[in-house]
Amino acid sequence: MADVGLGSPFPAVLPPPVWFSPQTPGDPARRRVRELAALSKRLQQVHPNVLAKVLKQETLYQNEEIVAINKPYGLPVHGGPGIKNCIADVLPILAKMLENMKAEPLHLCHRLDKETTGVMVLARNKEVADRIRLLFKTRQVEKIYWAISLGDPDPAEGIVEIPIVEKEVRSHQSHYKMTLAPNYRLSPEDGKVVKIRKNRNAEIAVTRYRRLATSSACSLLELQPITGVKHQIRVHLAYGLGCPILGDHKYSHWSKLAPQKLPEITLKRLKLEQSKARHLPLHLHAHRLSLPLGQRIDLVCKPPPFFQKTLQKLELDIANE
């Protein structure tokens, strides 16, 4: 990220970024945009062996069946257009680093968004991977996320159960987003609740949430997605509860792609100008994963330094957690 006082999202194994040099010429706003682009580019230029070494250092747990890692910020799980480096591509190298040169490549069991940090499980062989994927599919894996949200959900604890569908946003910059597809709406004539025909493409989505702390116009939330729809937590918080995740520039507005608008108190605590808000990283972290593999395996991962620094600056106290 640009230097907004939130700490680097990258592990210490990578060399210091060159774009923090104070000699960078030009207009400050343009310079920050270049810095942000350079960070993404640098991640894609790291040698696969270096990336595998980063993931090895982020190992949380391993046994004869699984390896659990702490997924870094900004690293895609799968490849795609414009992506040179992703977790899937370095799994053979990581397996050899963890075991030996003849080790079978590790297997993906689930996915996290590029910007999401935290617990990620890899399987040592295909059979174990298939078992774990089935556990996810049949909702036997307990997933607990932490997120810093803008605003305070009302009520402070509850369950959001609203289907989600992908739609095209038609604007000067057309793009696709996940959004809510409620089963009911208010009649414009008399304001009565009317059941509407279910959208065939919508997926059932259920998210349990609980507020852990609130301060500085923000909240720290504990989230348990019961289902696993794409961008479910982000959409349920932004559109269901009206509390988008801090740094979620995609779901803070529906009709446009624009930086998130932050309250004055939040900007003050973060020592940040609104013009720099576009550089805020997404504050969504996979905190705990509980796997029923014979015995139940509980995997817990602390939030990354930038997340912890934001908690401190916003005075969101989680001392009791």
- pLDDT greater than 60 at residue 319: no
Q: Look at residue 5 in the predicted model and tell me its pLDDT.
A: 43
3-state SS, residue 18: helix
292, 278 Cβ separation under 8 angstroms: no
Q: What is the DSSP letter of 10?
A: S
pLDDT-derived band at 169 (thresholds 50, 70, 90) equals confident
Amino acid at 226: I
> CB count, 10 Å around CB of 35?
19
3-state SS, residue 309: helix
**How many Å apart are CA 50 and CA 6, to the nearest integer?**
24
Q: Long-range contacts of range 152-155, CB-CB < 8 Å, 24 or more positions apart?
A: 152/211, 152/214, 152/219, 152/243, 153/209, 153/211, 153/219, 153/221, 153/237, 153/241, 153/242, 153/243
**Of 37 and 142, the one with more pLDDT:** 142
Residue whose entry in the numeric block shows the structure tokens 């894609």: 44
Residues 6+ away with beta carbon under 8 Å from 128:
65, 66, 107
**Nearest CA-CA partner of 272 in 4, 1, 2:** 4
Q: How far is CA 235 from the centre of its chain?
A: 12
Q: How far is CA 88 from the centre of its chain?
A: 17
The pLDDT mean for the chain works out to 85
- pLDDT greater than 80 at residue 225: yes
Q: Which of 113, 130, 152, 317 is catalytic?
A: 113
Q: What is the DSSP letter of 46?
A: S
* Alpha helix ranges (H) inside 218-292: 232-235, 264-270
**How many Å apart are CA 55 and CA 51, to the nearest integer?**
6
Q: Look at residue 3 in the predicted model and tell me its pLDDT.
A: 41
Q: What is the pTM of this model?
A: 0.83
Q: Are strands 117-123 and 284-293 parallel, antiparallel or unpaired?
A: parallel
3-state SS, residue 287: strand
Q: Look at residue 106 in the predicted model and tell me its pLDDT.
A: 96
**How many Å apart are CA 289 and CA 88, to the nearest integer?**
20
**Nearest CA-CA partner of 142 in 223, 69, 72:** 223
| Greatest mean pLDDT among 28-42, 79-93, 205-219 | 205-219
Residue whose entry in the numeric block shows the structure tokens 């349920």: 236
Residue whose entry in the numeric block shows the structure tokens 């946003």: 169
Give me the percent of the chain exceeding a pLDDT of 90. 61
Would you call 113 a catalytic residue per the annotation? yes
**How many Å apart are CA 128 and CA 126, to the nearest integer?**
6
Amino acid at 75: L
3-state SS, residue 211: strand
Q: Cis before residue 15, ω within 30 degrees of 0?
A: no
Tens-place pLDDT, residues 278-318:
889 999 999 999 999 989 999 999 999 999 999 999 999 87
* Alpha helix ranges (H) inside the chain: 28-45, 48-57, 87-98, 126-137, 232-235, 264-270, 305-313
